[in-house]
């Protein structure tokens, strides 16, 4: 068992964590970064990214995250491809234990553990991930211009995704498990008024099909009832809009979370309820969940941590 002491520990990677590491390194804080089980975050599961500034021709998600990582390392960030599994924020220095049992004692911590999109659990989702299956219409909708797509979900997020896609795709199926939409009345009205959105009520997705790329979905209407029927829809894009789960469970004993598990920050800062602990990226962002927003929040967190450390010295 080894113990490492650091002024700043960054838990998580992705746009938020790597940007925080870059800014903290340039401020001579010599941050220690634990990348977690998915170095680079959700973007490493995305194929081409076209909406991040500075890449006019687009860029692969893994490549962009590698660029972020290399830039942080260039200025001195110490990055470990390991996971923090337990924390004690009851006193400073904060004590964090990794997946190998080693201990990190940190004067400050930035949490950038992200959030994981919820999937239906179909084997086909993994098969076509990045090849037709996506959890972000804003990120990937452009690739389905003029094509048929489907959105799964019945809440405000699903309706927003369907409306966004309706301006890009030829046709949008909204697959709703129940017989009503859970979205606000305004969102319901907008969806119903869109000519190229077809709502499939009382429907579940049984599977997806296609050769190399997604070509369609198997649908069951009125599942497990006498009225059960099976049919297929021809789609090239399948978007999940059934929510995200923030990766914050190990912090819940100490950090204030909202009802969904997202970290609460103070005002327009990255400060949490624990002095010296900051949050950045999707783990503290239930609304936007965009790479460019996460990167900006990583910058904020590093600057907040730098100021905190300066005032403490």
What residues act catalytically? 136, 139-140
Q: Which residues of 8-41 are buried (b: 16+ CB within 10 A; e: fewer)?
A: bbbbbbbbbbbbbbbbbbbbebebbbbbbebbbb
In angstroms, the first-to-last Cα distance of the chain is 29
- Give the dihedral of Cα atoms 295, 271, 310, 40; nearest 10 deg: -30
Strand partners, 175: 152, 200
What distance in Å separates the CA atoms of residue 256 and residue 262, rounded to the nearest whole number?
9
Task: Look up tokens 């009520």; give the residue.
Answer: 201
- The CA-atom distances, in angstroms, between 90 and each of 96, 199, 254 are 11, 50, 7
Cβ-based neighbour number of residue 140 at 10 Å: 23
132: which 2 tokens? Answer: 């037709």
Contact assessment for residue 235 and residue 148, using Cβ atoms and an 8 Å cutoff = yes
What distance in Å separates the CA atoms of residue 232 and residue 209, rounded to the nearest whole number?
10
Residue 283, preceding peptide bond in cis (omega within 30° of 0): no
Task: Look up tokens 């009382």; give the residue.
Answer: 202
Any idea what DSSP says for residue 226?
T
What distance in Å separates the CA atoms of residue 250 and residue 271, rounded to the nearest whole number?
18
């Amino acid at each position: 068992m080894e113990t490492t002491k650091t002024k700043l520990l960054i838990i998580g990677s992705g746009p938020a964590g790597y940007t925080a590491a870059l800014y903290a390194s340039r401020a001579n804080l010599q941050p220690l970064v634990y990348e977690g089980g998915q170095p680079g975050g959700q973007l490493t599961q995305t194929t081409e990214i076209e909406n991040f500034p500075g890449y006019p021709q687009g860029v692969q998600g893994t490549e962009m995250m590698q660029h972020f990582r290399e830039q942080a390392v260039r200025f001195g960030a110490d990055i470990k491809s390991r996971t923090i599994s337990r924390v004690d924020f009851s006193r400073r220095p904060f004590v964090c234990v990794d997946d190998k049992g080693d201990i990190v004692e940190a004067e400050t911590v930035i949490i950038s553990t992200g959030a994981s999109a919820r999937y239906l659990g179909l084997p086909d989702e993994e098969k076509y991930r990045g090849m037709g299956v996506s959890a972000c219409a804003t990120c990937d909708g452009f690739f389905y211009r003029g094509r048929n797509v489907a959105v799964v979900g019945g809440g405000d997020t699903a309706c927003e995704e369907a409306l966004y896609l309706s301006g890009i795709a030829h046709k949008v199926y909204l697959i709703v498990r129940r017989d009503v939409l859970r979205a606000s009345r305004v969102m319901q009205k907008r969806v119903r008024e869109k000519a190229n959105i077809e709502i499939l009520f009382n429907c579940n997705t049984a599977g997806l099909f296609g050769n190399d790329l997604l070509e369609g979905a198997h649908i069951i209407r009125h599942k497990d009832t006498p009225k059960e029927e099976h049919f297929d829809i021809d789609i090239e894009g399948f978007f999940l809009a059934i929510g995200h789960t923030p990766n914050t469970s190990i912090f819940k004993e100490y950090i204030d979370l909202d009802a969904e598990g997202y970290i609460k920050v103070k005002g327009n800062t990255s400060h949490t309820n624990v002095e010296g602990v900051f949050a950045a990226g999707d783990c503290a962002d239930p609304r936007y969940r965009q790479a460019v927003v996460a990167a900006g929040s990583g910058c904020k967190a590093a600057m907040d941590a730098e100021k905190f450390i300066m005032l403490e010295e």
